[in-house]
A and B are shown apart, each in its own frame.
Chain A
Amino acid sequence: MSVIGASSTAATDLPAAKRLLGRESSSFVPRFATGLVIVLTWEIVVRAFAPAYVAKPSTVVLAIPRVITDPAFLQALGATLAAVAEGLAITIVAGTAIGLLMGRSDTIDRMVRVYINGFNAMPMIIVLPLFSLWFGYSGAARIATIIFAAIFAITMNVADGARSVPREYLEVSRSFRSGRLRMLTDIVLPASMPYLLAGFRLAAGRALIGAVVAEFFLSIGGLGYYILYNSRSYHHNEAFVGVLLLAAFGVGFEVLVQWATKRFMPWYRRDEKAN
């Protein structure tokens, strides 16, 4: 049941980035106008009603060059991105392995699925108090949070992908006497690639959230902590640059996965199927 849910979300989400980029030229004017209205309303409302420290577009823009040349900010950004990259690397390897096994063996699937579904349904941030007990207030706790936040998205998607490998492929490889492991690495894995990418897109977003939440909770250096620290000391403009960057990463992952699917898997047309 959840399989259907998970894959259909992934499918409906995919063409989003394409629309975001706005290929149709006729859509540029309303988009630009709406953006202008949003920015102006924000500026006016904040100027009229909010205290001076509250972020508004004009001051945020002024803060951008200051923030991105600030070594403290760059260090924070580097720390978060390194943690996310490390966590995602572990997640992809472990998540793909578990997912492939689940997809190709019904017994393993039935045994593991309860836990995958259960953990996936948990709001991931509840593990933070536990991880802080286990790993202390350290980078290890952040990595663990990132992995916990991201791994189930990959596992579930890869399992879906491995299950949907066309039977003929497996039959052909079997009639050429290929071994089980060989079949897994050379047939099932490449065939599940698009699912892996869809899972990666979800996982990357969650990993980023995991990193930020862990930094909030554990007070360890990084982009999340930079945002927390600056907004606590009423430097909202600087903090907001951090949020903009996070949003850019969120959108960036989306565009990247879309591009990769098109570039490396032109045979795969999931988004057309969905529409």
Chain B
Amino acid sequence: MAASDTETMQTTYLRRHGPLWISILAGIAAWEIAGRSTSAAFMVPFSETLVRLWQLTVRGEFLTQLLDSAELFLTGFILALIVGAPLGLLLARVRVLRIGIEPYIMILYATPMVALIPFILSMMGFGFAPKVLVVFLFTVFPVLYNTVEGARSIKPELIEVAKSFRSSEWSLWREVMLPYTLPYMMTGVRQAIGRALVGMIAAEFFLSSTGLGQLIMGASQDFDTAGVFASILVIGVIGVGLTRLGLVIEQHFAHWRQ
């Protein structure tokens, strides 16, 4: 009985995840074959990419750049949260302010922020601050936009009830507005994670070259194709991981949504 149970579990596991593993293996095999059959300047096989990645890790180059990027990412991201979330709630509370500012937030949300990088470069130069500003600009609008979106959907009755119970402004924010808006805010956070990553790499490409952006730029300038692939692999894995994290955060709060 127990044996057949585990057997069926195994077969359902295989049926569900079999194609996934087959396709991952097929992808790696295709990469390996393509890499071996073309010139090394064009593409390198998966195995060589891993070897190069190992070399970069052992030399410590990789960890330093990773930490450098992480510092930039976190500083910009946290600043955007500190500014975006309270501002979004404030806009929710003060209706005139919201109606007034909302279209401009929309416009900025739709504007490709990369276009502002040359201005930031020529006004602020090559320090850490301009790069943080880039990450901030990429990040703040999704947070702000979604927070306002959530705050718009707060039912007026909720606030009216709270008011008729003589709730103070502070507890109104804490007990009604924040819990109601949080799931939307988290959708903003999920979108912001992806954008912050783009902003981070863009800042490292086009402002002073540091971090993971520098790793890949340097490799490309040296025609070190293996290095380029190794960096892309790493950044790709980080991207997938952070996106997953964003989804988990969003899902965690999603059931609060009505």
- Which A residues are within 8 Å of any B CB, using their own CB? 1-2, 4-5, 8-9, 12, 16-17, 19-20, 22, 27, 30-31, 33-35, 38, 50, 54-55, 107, 110-115, 117-130, 132-134, 205, 208-209, 212-213, 216-217, 224, 227-228, 231-232, 234, 236, 239-240, 242-243, 246-247, 250-251, 253-254, 275
Contact = CB atoms under 8 A, between A and B. Distances in A.
Nearest to A115: B27
A5 B250 contact: yes
Contacts of A247: 107-108, 110-112
B100 interface: yes
A243 B116 contact: yes
Classify chain B's interface size.
35 or more
B258 to A, nearest CB: 12
Interface in B26-79: 26-27, 41-42
B173 interface: no
Most chain B beta-carbon contacts within 10 A, residue among A33, A126, A247, A250: A126
Given A5-B250, A9-B191, A227 B96 contact: no
B146 A12 contact: yes
A50 B184 CA distance: 37
A73 to B, nearest CB: 15
**A interface, by DSSP: helix, strand, loop or mixed?**
helix
B172 interface: no
B206 interface: yes
Given A54-B123, A114-B23, 13 more contacts: A22-B103, A35-B104, A110-B19, A111-B20, A114-B27, A128-B205, A134-B42, A209-B114, A228-B118, A231-B122, A234-B122, A247-B112, A251-B110
Interface of B: 16, 19-20, 22-24, 26-27, 41-42, 96-97, 99-104, 106-108, 110-112, 114-119, 121-123, 146, 149, 153, 184, 187, 190-191, 194, 197-198, 200-202, 205-206, 216-217, 219-220, 223, 225, 228-229, 231-232, 235-236, 239-240, 242-243, 247, 250-251
Contacts of A232: 118, 121-122
Given A12-B149, A112-B23, A231-B121, A123 B239 contact: yes
Given A118-B236, A247-B107, A31 B250 contact: no
A133 B42 contact: yes
Contacts of B191: 9
Contact of A125 (B24, B110, B202): B202
A205 B110 contact: yes
A118 B119 CA distance: 32
21 contacts: A12-B149, A12-B187, A33-B100, A50-B123, A55-B119, A111-B22, A117-B240, A117-B243, A119-B236, A121-B240, A122-B240, A123-B197, A125-B205, A126-B231, A126-B232, A129-B216, A132-B220, A213-B202, A216-B118, A217-B206, A231-B118
B106 A1 contact: no
A124 to B, nearest CB: 7
